[in-house]
Structure 1
Amino acid sequence: VFPQGRLRRRLRPSPREQAAFLQVSSGGLVSRPFRARPRIRDPRVPESHTTVVKAAISSYRKAIDEGLLLKLPFTTIFEYLQLLQLVSTAMNCLEHHGMFYCAAAVSDFYVPWESMAKHKIQSAGGPLNMQLNQVPKMLFILRNHWAPSAFCVSFKLETDPDILIQKAEAALRKYGMNVVVANELANYKDVVVMVTSTGKTTVSRRSKEDDLEEQLIGLLVKMHSDHAKQSNPDQET
């Protein structure tokens, strides 16, 4: 018969369960008893994962305590662009020793502040038409005005592999970046292409246990060091 006490579930009942409930509620018996879905238990984290997470949290807290990491939270595109300007102009004094790793996926469109509704939009007014403006491209301003001597790295993500490198090379020329990291959405965790004015370098993850970012950052650090040495040959980086 229909299992008692199991009608209230977080998951939607299957068609078979619904038919059984209707049959029981009408005074009949379920012709084919079914097995209720097992309850989802709390997931257990493997010990190896726990060790890795603890080490990452310890390194994170150590960086904050030593003043090596400054968190600047933001929510809106307005806050992000304002913080980008403040940070960039503050780092301008570092000249070639400064490095910008612009990996944020900034929205392509936004609603201008003056166009935002001041009060709750009423549904009685009928269909809603919204016009979005393009978010201004700030990489060019960062490179040419806010911190012109810094080492700048930006990212280009595409879903079409046929245009990925072309778009990355165009961004390199248009915004004056030192490096554009090109990645495809389908395999962005496994392979990236570092596009520079002198060529392209493919970085692939060695194994499932390795992080692609570790290899990428190592190469970028070396490129930044070379950039600083070439700009200031008599100074140490």
Structure 2
Amino acid sequence: MSSEGEISSFFESSPPLKNMEEIVEKLNQFINWNFSWQGGRRIVCVTSGGTTVPLEQRCVRYIDNFSSGNRGAASTENFIKAGYAVIFLYRRGTCQPYCRYLPDDPFLECFEFPDKTNNIQVRASHLEAVKMAVMDQQRVAVSERRLLKLPFSTIYEYLQMLRLVATALKDIGPYSMFYLAAAVSDFYVPWESMTEHKIESGSGPLEIRLAQVPKMISILRSNWAPKAFCISFKLETDSKILIEKATKALRKYKVHAVVANELSTRKEEVVVVSSSGNVVVRRDCDKPESIVEDNLIRIIVARHSTYIIESQLLIPSTSTTV
């Protein structure tokens, strides 16, 4: 577990967010609107996609990790169906809510010029997917104002934005949730030790010393948003150690549950690890359109409801278990 000194040092040495005031304003407006709606709408921060680790200050090269953002996008859609407002903290270029069924490459194949006119229309083969994506996006993000999308790229941006979101949500306590599905880099190059310009390729083999990224979940739970419901994720390639690692994370960081998923089967099943036991969650195999997030979010929402009730009743012995 990282010390407060290590965490403070990371933020003090990080390049500042260029649009921090704009982000804070958007967050406050979004939270005030939704939490004042009919007695208070629940708000979840869904983190999605992977973080990059720059190798130069004027970045040309970077280290990346594996994450398409599909789980975060699908989970966001399910949280919105359950009545939540969602702060979608996502990696630029990864999967977006309501766009999962649109073609990735190229997106422009959805459209055509009929009869060589200047009017653009959606191809018949993609009409339903585009229509649903536009309608859902307009309804949720524009009309109902229940979706706020905040993009990041680097580990520096992600952790600074997570802190902004957490401190902004602190006052709504147990009605807030963190669903930390992003693949966060474990190692990084400290900004002050990074070269400013592009690393020369003709200078021979490249040796880089990586520092460990401080674990922020502990300070999120203890300081930034201590009353929020918190779900973290554990991905492993070895199924033999997955549950053990997830259980250790549960105890170490005092989150309310850890969603354990193994790389090769992550789209078919996950395990929700908590102090009340482990639950295997699978997609409905008899429904071709089913995804594991449909059932996963149903369980998470139910447990969040229990957590809110217990928090209101001030039952210390059960307020942090699911």
When normalised by structure 1's length, the TM-score is: 0.76
Number of aligned residue pairs: give it: 193
Distance 1:151 1:164, change over 3 A: same
2:135 aligned residue: 58
Distance in structure 2 (CA, Å) of the matches to 1:176 and 1:119: 41
Give the Cα separation in 2 of the matches to 1:82 and 1:185: 28
Q: Deviation per CA, 1:63-120: give whole Å up to 9, x if none.
A: 2112211111111110100001010011000111111110000111111111111122
SS of aligned partner of 2:299: helix
Tell whether 2:171 aligns with 1:93: yes
Offset of residue 134 of structure 1:
1.1
Which of the residues 224, 231, 236 maps onto 1:158? 236
- The separation in 2 between residues aligned to 1:177 and 1:121, in whole angstroms, is 40
Task: State the partner residue of 2:296.
Answer: 216
2:186–2:213 CA contact under 8 A, matched in 1: yes
1:183 corresponding residue in structure 2:
261
In structure 2, do the counterparts of structure 1 residues 218 and 56 end up closer, same or farther at CA, with 3 Å as the change threshold? farther
- Please list, as runs of the form range in 1=range in 2, the aligned pairs for 1:139-158 lying within 5 A after superposition: 139-158=217-236
Secondary structure of the corresponding residue to residue 180 of structure 1: strand
Displacement after TM superposition at 1:128 (Å): 1.4
Q: 2:309 is matched with which residue: 219, 229, 233? A: 229
List per-residue Cα deviations over 1:8-61 (Å, max 9, x = no partner). xxxxxxxxxxxxxxxxxxxxxxxxxxxxxxxxxx98999787534532442223
Q: Output the amino acid matched with 1:63.
A: V
- Structure with larger Rg: 1
Could you tell me which amino acid in structure 2 is paired with residue 230 of structure 1? Answer: E
TM-score (norm 2): 0.56
1:83-122 to 2 correspondences below 5 Å: 83-122=161-200
Deviates more, 1:46-55 or 1:140-149: 46-55
C-alpha contact (below 8 Å) 2:268/2:283 kept by paired residues: yes
**Which residue of structure 2 aligns with residue 171 of structure 1?**
249
The one-letter code of the counterpart of 1:59 is D
Distance (whole Å) between structure 2 residues aligned to residue 123 and residue 212 of structure 1: 44
Q: Deviations over 1:126-150 (max 9, x none)?
A: 2211111111111111111101111
Superposed CA RMSD: 2.2
Mapped to 2, the partners of 1:82 and 1:43 lie a distance apart of 37
- Residue identity over aligned pairs, in percent, reads 53
Shift of 1:122: 2.1
How has the CA–CA distance of structure 1 residues 127 and 194 changed in structure 2, closer, same or farther, with 3 Å as cutoff? Answer: same
SS of 2:220's equivalent in the other structure is helix
Cα 1:43–1:97 change in 2 (3 A) is closer
Pair 1:123 & 2:204 matched = no
Aligned to 1:68, which of 146, 163, 172? 146
The structure, 1 or 2, with the larger RCO (C-alpha pairs under 8 Å, 6+ apart) is: 2
- Asked if residue 80 in structure 1 is aligned to residue 158 in structure 2, the reply is yes
Shift of 1:215: 1.1
Instruction: Give the partner amino acid of 1:158.
Output: E
What do residues 210-234 of structure 1 show as CA deviations (whole Å, max 9, x unaligned)? Answer: 0111111111111101100011039
**Which ranges in structure 2 are unaligned for 5 or more consecutive residues?**
1-107, 111-121, 315-322
Give the distance between the partners of 1:227 and 1:192, measured in 2 at CA.
22
**SS, match of residue 203 in structure 1:** strand
Distance between the aligned counterparts of 1:105 and 1:53, measured in 2? 28
Alpha-carbon distance in structure 1 between the residues aligned to 2:148 and 2:161: 12
- In 1, Cα distance between equivalents of 2:246 and 2:126: 35
How far apart in 1 are the matches of 2:254 and 2:290? 31
CA distance 1:170–1:97, change in 2 (3 Å) = same
